[in-house]
A and B are shown apart, each in its own frame.
Chain A
Amino acid sequence: MDIDLSAQNVTKVFEEFTAVDNVSFEVENGRFFSILGPSGCGKTTLLRMIAGLTEPTKGRIEIRGENMIGISPNKRPVNLIFQHLALFPMMDVGENIAFGLQRRGEGRETIKRKVSAILDSVDLSGFDKKKIEQLSGGQQQRVAIARCLVLEPTVLLLDEPLGALDLKLREQMKVELKKLQAKIGTTFVYITHDQSEAMVMSDYVAVMHNGKFEQIDTPQNLYNKPQTPFVAQFVGDNNIWSGKIRKAEGLSAEIETDDGSVFKTKVDKALKPGLEVNLFLRPEAMVIEPDKCIEDLNRFEVIVKSILFDGANSRLLANPVNANTEILIALPQNRQYDYIQINDKIEIGWNKKSGICFKKNED
């Protein structure tokens, strides 16, 4: 497949502060690529460098093999959807969309045809004479997308465009954006701090932290096989135990946690006994009151402290017996566990394949 966008060793230093630190990646044609990271991790700076609004201190940015360094933003085949959309309030919808075409000097008729075609494809036919402030948040979103797509950019950049929407609309727009991208086939580079946005929409996600890429992978792999403690913590919820390796044997190990439990778990690489480690375990990896006959489970007892009801995402907050560690346990809402009360003592079990182990201080 063709590479639409490639960045090599891109670095941006602001005075003393390194915002983007030696980042390299490639995005294939037609992909939905997300950059996920907490605020201040440098993702916006990276996006602005791709758009040409900021020049990198070092490194190369190529679009379809062409070097973009030194090319001003109005000459780059990329378009950016701004965080707050930046629709021009002094123009109506049609004028907003026609703006880029006019700058290219396209003919009046062509512009008219293209504007109405793109409005059709974002389901806003007949909206061209509306004022921006007359539109709902979701409609403005679509105008912003149409304004960029009408220019047929090689890469469309999106800077947290869903951040300003309310929850319901955001869920809806996630699906819409994904469908739209599949329909038109333009390469999307999407940045967000919301992991659910990144996971739902993307083919590939890069997790960014302190100016560096921690891992570039499919959403499934990020969730199931995080390669760094940061990814394990940042993507999805995780329980963390700190502890020591007691016994190690190839890719399986026995860990004694600081609160006194002993768990068996698989490890990615052989670890020496005595090594201090962090053990990560997803809430849904734990089973409440597992069947006695299932073997190969780590079993321990906890005392329920609180029931956090949140529909399909309900959890139990519990302490292991004789310890203060707080752990979250998924609470499936299939009525099977309705009997659980606060201060109950229950047994928890988890498969040793579910645990993920990292050497301590790796982050």
Chain B
Amino acid sequence: MKTEIKKQFRWGLLFFLTPVLLWLILLIVLPQIDLFVMSFRSENDAGEMVWSITNYLNFFHEPIYWLTFVRTATYSILVAFFTFVIALPVAFYITKVVKPRFQGSLTLLLLLPFWVSEMVRVYGWMILLRESGVINHFLLKLGLMTEPIEMLYRDSTMILGLVYTSMLFMVVPLISVLDSLDDSLIEAAYDLGANMWSILFKIIIPHATPGIVSGSIVVFMLTLGNYLTPNLMGGKNSLWFTEQIYNQFIASFNWNQGSAFGFLLLFLSSLVIWIGLKLSRQTLSKVVQ
């Protein structure tokens, strides 16, 4: 029924299509292709640009590169897992335990910090954790320590910062998926003699799987591509892969090497997302909603 009315209004299609095509082709498709092409170009001994896979070979020959790569991927998975473990009880509390009249304001409170710039949030952690920071100050005051210690620039603080930064993207899908879980299912399980743990693993987690998957994918991806938090909270030795990319681009000015790294990162993130979607039998368009 729709199609025939459309035929008379094809200029409408043109009007909508043009800006969208310009956007997607000029800013997404062509730059990604360029990135891919440039990653296969490098300087030969004579100083000329030639086609080669040198950039990728460098990646595998230099342990620091691929170790950073593996480290970044592993930590990103860890971050996604921690975020999930911390967020699940909170999402459960808000959707199922707290009195309904507090639900709205608690949710609002939960989301509020994430409207604030990531830069500001990381800065907040820095003044809390650093050697002259607020936590050290109180610990010394209370006499729990005699010497201040540097809590920043450790892997654990970096993970803390990344978990904090990504929390929103786990909490929101979890809340929405738990909200759709019928209370009476839990009541029925309880009535049939299940304890808390069996309810958690047999009822809640299976029901929440779509939310868990989409939350984890987004958290993983954002962590993988994060530059600010590892750089500021992990310090100079944070060895995050985005820093390698930045170094190639800005410090060494070796854009071709940088493109190869960028492409590898893109490949990794797409791969993990693809595996995540396959394992949970979901589609990208469903997850983004």
Contact = CB atoms under 8 A, between A and B. Distances in A.
B184 interface: no
Nearest to A72: B8
A54 B8 contact: no
A48 interface: yes
A56 to B, nearest CB: 10
A48 B4 CA distance: 12
B279 interface: no
A48 B5 CA distance: 11
A48 B1 CA distance: 9
A20 to B, nearest CB: 12
A21 interface: no
A256 interface: no
Nearest to A70: B8
A18 B159 CA distance: 64
A53 interface: yes
A95 interface: no
Contacts of B8: 72
Contacts of A14: 1
A53 B1 CA distance: 8
Contacts of A45: 1
A55 interface: yes
Interface string B154-189: 000000000000000000000000000000000000
A73 B5 CA distance: 9
Q: What bracket does the count of chain A residues touching chain B fall in?
A: under 10
Contacts of A73: 5
Contacts of B4: 54-55
Nearest to B1: A54
A88 B58 CA distance: 64
Contacts of B5: 53-54, 73
Contacts of A55: 4
A82 to B, nearest CB: 14
A54 B8 CA distance: 12
A69 to B, nearest CB: 12
A27 B64 CA distance: 85
A39 to B, nearest CB: 16
Interface in A61-102: 72-73
Interface string B3-39: 0110010000000000000000000000000000000
Nearest to A45: B1
A54 B3 CA distance: 9
A45 B5 CA distance: 14
Nearest to A54: B1
A178 B1 CA distance: 31
Interface in B36-63: none
B8 to A, nearest CB: 6
Interface string B177-216: 0000000000000000000000000000000000000000
A185 B162 CA distance: 73
B11 to A, nearest CB: 13
A45 B4 CA distance: 13
A55 B7 CA distance: 11
Nearest to A48: B1
A73 B4 CA distance: 12
A53 B6 CA distance: 10
A73 B8 CA distance: 11
B230 to A, nearest CB: 48
Contacts of A72: 8
Interface string A2-18: 00000000000010000
A100 B268 CA distance: 56
B2 to A, nearest CB: 9
Nearest to B9: A72
Interface in A21-77: 45, 48, 53-55, 72-73
A101 B8 CA distance: 23
Interface in B61-103: none
A140 to B, nearest CB: 25
A40 to B, nearest CB: 14
A61 to B, nearest CB: 14
B78 to A, nearest CB: 49
A73 B1 CA distance: 14
A321 to B, nearest CB: 54
Nearest to A12: B1
A77 to B, nearest CB: 18
B9 to A, nearest CB: 9
Contacts of B1: 14, 45, 48, 53-54
Given A45-B1, A54-B1, 9 more contacts: A14-B1, A48-B1, A53-B1, A53-B5, A54-B4, A54-B5, A55-B4, A72-B8, A73-B5
11 contacts: A14-B1, A45-B1, A48-B1, A53-B1, A53-B5, A54-B1, A54-B4, A54-B5, A55-B4, A72-B8, A73-B5
Interface of A: 14, 45, 48, 53-55, 72-73
Q: Which 8 A-B pairs have the closest CB atoms?
A: A55-B4, A54-B1, A72-B8, A54-B4, A53-B5, A48-B1, A53-B1, A14-B1
